[in-house]
Amino acid sequence: MHNFVSQIWPSIVDGTTTGAIYALMALGYTLVYGVLRLINFAHSEVFMVGTFASLFTLHALHINYAPGGIEAIGVFAAITIAAMAASGLVAVGVEYVAYRPLRKRNSSSLANLISAIGMSFFLQEVFALRYGRDLIPFPRILLKNVLFHIGNAEVRSDMVLVVGSALVMMFILDRFVNGTRLGRGIRAVAQDASTAVLMGVNIDRVITLTFLLGGIMAGVAAMLYGTFYEVTQYNIGFVIGIKGFTAAVLGGIGNIRGALVGGFALGLVETFGGAIFTAQWIDVVAFSVLVLVLLFRPTGILGESLQRARA
Amino acid sequence: MLLEISELSVFYGKIQALDGVSLDVEEGEIACLIGANGAGKSTTLKTISGLRKVAHGAVRFKGADITHVPGHRRVTMGICQAPEGRGIFPGMTVMDNLGMGAYTRKKRDAERVTGDYERVFSLFPRLKERRKQIAGTMSGGEQQMLAIGRALMSDPDLLLLDEPSMGLAPMLVTQIFEIIKEINGQGTTILLVEQNAIQALSVSRRAYVLESGHITRRALAADLLDDDSIRAAYLGG
Ligand SMILES: Nc1ncnc2c1ncn2[C@@H]1O[C@H](COP(=O)(O)OP(=O)(O)O)[C@@H](O)[C@H]1O
Ligand SMILES: [Mg+2]
C-alpha cells in the first residue's frame, strides 16, 4: 500500500502524458465519426505514417543529437510539419480511395469496415516491405532532463512537450470547429447532412477537410510519440489506434471535447491500473473501465456529441 | 418562368414517388403544391434542391438546365429551402443557424449579409431575442421561423417552403402565412408545399394538386378555392 501511495503523483504525470497522445488520436476517430458515422480503422496507419515522416525528416536533416536554441525550434517545426503533412495526406487519401467510392454507391457500413481494414493492411505492408518489420529507433532529439517536480513525481522536458503541444493543438482545433465558417460546415454536416446541402455545404469537401484535420492531429501525436518513446515500426499504430478509439468512445464518440476527456481519462486509468496491478495488467484494466463506463453511460462520459446536445 | 419542372420521375429504390410531374413557378409569385400525406410533395422540393436523383425529366431554373447540378451549388444559383419538420441544426445557436443560411455568401457581400440579418430579425423579432439560444431548445413555432429565416439568409431568388405550418397552433399558422406574404412582397418568389390547403391557396397565385406522384390539377389558386371537388377533398367540405 505504501508503494501505491508513492506512485500516485508519478502515475498522474505519466498518465497525463500518454493521455495527451491518446486524446490527439481520439480526435481523428471522433471527427470522422461525427460527419460519416463510421469508425476509420485505418486511422492507426495514418499515425504510423506520421512517425516515419518525422524520422525521415530527422535523417534528411542529419539530426542525431539533441539540438539547442534556434536549431531545436527549427528541427521540431520541421518534423511537426512533415508528420502533419504526411498524416494529413494519408488520411485524405484513405477517404478518397477506401470510403468515397463506397459512399457514392450507398454501401453498407460493413463494406466500409472491410475497406478500412484492407487499407490498414495495405499501408502496414508497404512500410514493412520497404523498412522491415523490426523496431526502428529514433535519435534522442530532446534532452530528457527533469524540469520540476509535482509531489514526488519528476516532470521531464519531453512530458511537458507532449502535454503542451497536445493541448495547443486541441485548443486550435476547438477554435476552428466552433469559431470558423468551415468549422460550422463540419458541425452542420454532423448534425444533419441533407439540411447542410440545402444550405450550400459541399459535403465531399467537408468530409475531406474532416479527414485532413484528424490526420493533422494524428501527425502531431506521431511526432510526439517519436520524441517520447523514440521508436517506430510498421505496425506501431495498432495499439495506439485502439487506445485512441477507446478514448474516443470513453469520452463520447462524435464529441470533440469528449476526445480530450477520454484521452486523459484512459491515460490515467492505465497508469493507475499499472501501479495497482503491475504493468502487465494495464490493458485489461483500461478495457474493463471502458466496459464499465459504457454499461452505465452508453454514450460515453460527455455523451454522444456536442453537435447533438440539446443544451 | 423562374422554375420549370417537366415530366419529372423520381424513385426511392423501386418505389416511384414522382411520376411525370410538371410544374412552373413564375418570378415574383407564390405558387403552392397541395396534396395529402405521401403524395410526393417533399420529394418534389428535395428534387428541386438536388437531394434526390432524377430518373427522368428535367428541372430548369432561370432558363438553365440544373437537373444534374449538385445540390450545394443550387444554393449559390439562388434556390434555398426550409425543409419539412423544422430541419434546423438543433445543437447550434440561433445565430449559428442563421450563419449556416449565409454559408455560401462571399466576404465581399458582408454588408448585404448584415442587411439580411436585419431583414430576418424584423420579420421574426423573436429570433433576435433568442440569438444565443441553442435552436433545439426552442418551441416548434420558433424553430419554424428559424428555418425560414435561415433560408432567407442565402438571399434566395426562389424560396422553397415545405409545410411551414405543420404542427403549429392555429394562431401561429395565421402568423406564418402573413410572414410568407410579407417575404413575397419584398420580392422573393416562393414555392409553398402544404397540407393546410385553405391557407396555402389563399396566399398563392398559382396552385398544383399532387396525388400519389401525379399532378392532378393545375389552376389559379383562387379558382381552386372555389372548386367544389377540391373543397370536398382538401378543404373539409
Ligand atoms: N426515404 C424514403 N425512402 C423510401 N420511400 C420514401 C422515402 N421518402 C419518401 N418516400 C415515399 O415517397 C412517397 C412520397 O413521399 P413524400 O415526398 O415525403 O410525400 P409528402 O411530402 O407529400 O408527404 C411516399 O410514398 C413515401 O412513402
Ligand atoms: Mg412531406
B192/chain A closest Cα distance in angstroms: 16
**pLDDT top residue among B236 and A120:** A120
Q: Does residue B14's CB lie within 6 angstroms of at least one atom of ligand 1? A: no
Which domains, and CATH codes, for chain A? 4-132+151-308 (1.10.3470)
Residue B136 forms contact with A (CB below 8 Å)? yes
Averaged pLDDT score across all residues of chain B? 94
Residue B76 forms contact with A (CB below 8 Å)? yes
Q: Does residue B33's CB lie within 6 angstroms of at least one atom of ligand 1? A: no
Averaged pLDDT score across all residues of chain A? 92
Residue A191 forms contact with B (CB below 8 Å)? yes
Question: Shortest CB distance from B103 goes to which of A192, A201, A308?
Answer: A201
Round to whole Å and give the CA distance between B78 and B155.
7
DSSP string spanning B48-99? HTT-S--SEEEEEETTEE-TTS-HHHHHHHTEEEE-TTT---TTSBHHHHHH
A187/chain B closest Cα distance in angstroms: 8
Where on the phi/psi map is residue B85: left (φ > 0), alpha (ψ -120 to 50), or beta? left
Q: Phi first, then psi: what are they for B6, rounded to 5°?
A: -130, 130
Q: Does residue B17's CB lie within 6 angstroms of at least one atom of ligand 1? A: yes
Q: Does residue B15's CB lie within 6 angstroms of at least one atom of ligand 1? A: yes
Taking a C-beta distance cutoff of 8 angstroms, is the pair A24, A169 a contact?
yes
Residues from chain A that touch B104, judged by Cβ atoms under 8 A, are: 199-200
For the beta sheet containing B64-65, the strands, ordered from the edge strand earlier in sequence to the opposite edge, are: B15-25, B3-12, B56-61, B64-65
pLDDT in tens, B215-232: 999 999 999 988 887 777
pLDDT in tens, A11-47: 999 999 999 999 999 999 999 999 999 999 999 999 9
Does B12 score more than 80 pLDDT?
Answer: yes
**What ipTM was predicted for this assembly?**
0.95
Task: Give me A283's grid cell.
Answer: 490493458
Half-sphere exposure for A173 (CA within 13 Å, toward CB): 30
Ligand nearest to the CA of B44: 1
Quote the percentage of chain B above a pLDDT of 70: 99
Residue B69 forms contact with A (CB below 8 Å)? no
Counted residue by residue, chain B has a size of: 237
For residue B236, name the pLDDT band (cuts at 50, 70, 90): low
pLDDT in tens, A69-105: 899 999 999 999 999 999 999 999 999 999 999 998 8
Does A116 score more than 70 pLDDT?
Answer: yes
Quote the percentage of chain B above a pLDDT of 90: 89
pLDDT in tens, A196-206: 999 999 999 99
Question: Shortest CB distance from A197 goes to which of B51, B88, B137?
Answer: B51
For A181, the closest chain B residue by CA position comes to: B103
Round to whole Å and give the CA distance between B126 and B50.
31
For residue A310, name the pLDDT band (cuts at 50, 70, 90): very low
Residue A198 forms contact with B (CB below 8 Å)? yes
Round to whole Å and give the CA distance between B99 and B154.
9
Say yes or no for a CB contact (<8 Å) between B92 and A191: yes
Q: Does residue B46's CB lie within 6 angstroms of at least one atom of ligand 1? A: no
Task: Give me B213's grid cell.
Answer: 406522384
Say yes or no for a CB contact (<8 Å) between A187 and B89: yes
Which domains, and CATH codes, for chain B? 1-77+192-237 (3.40.50.300)
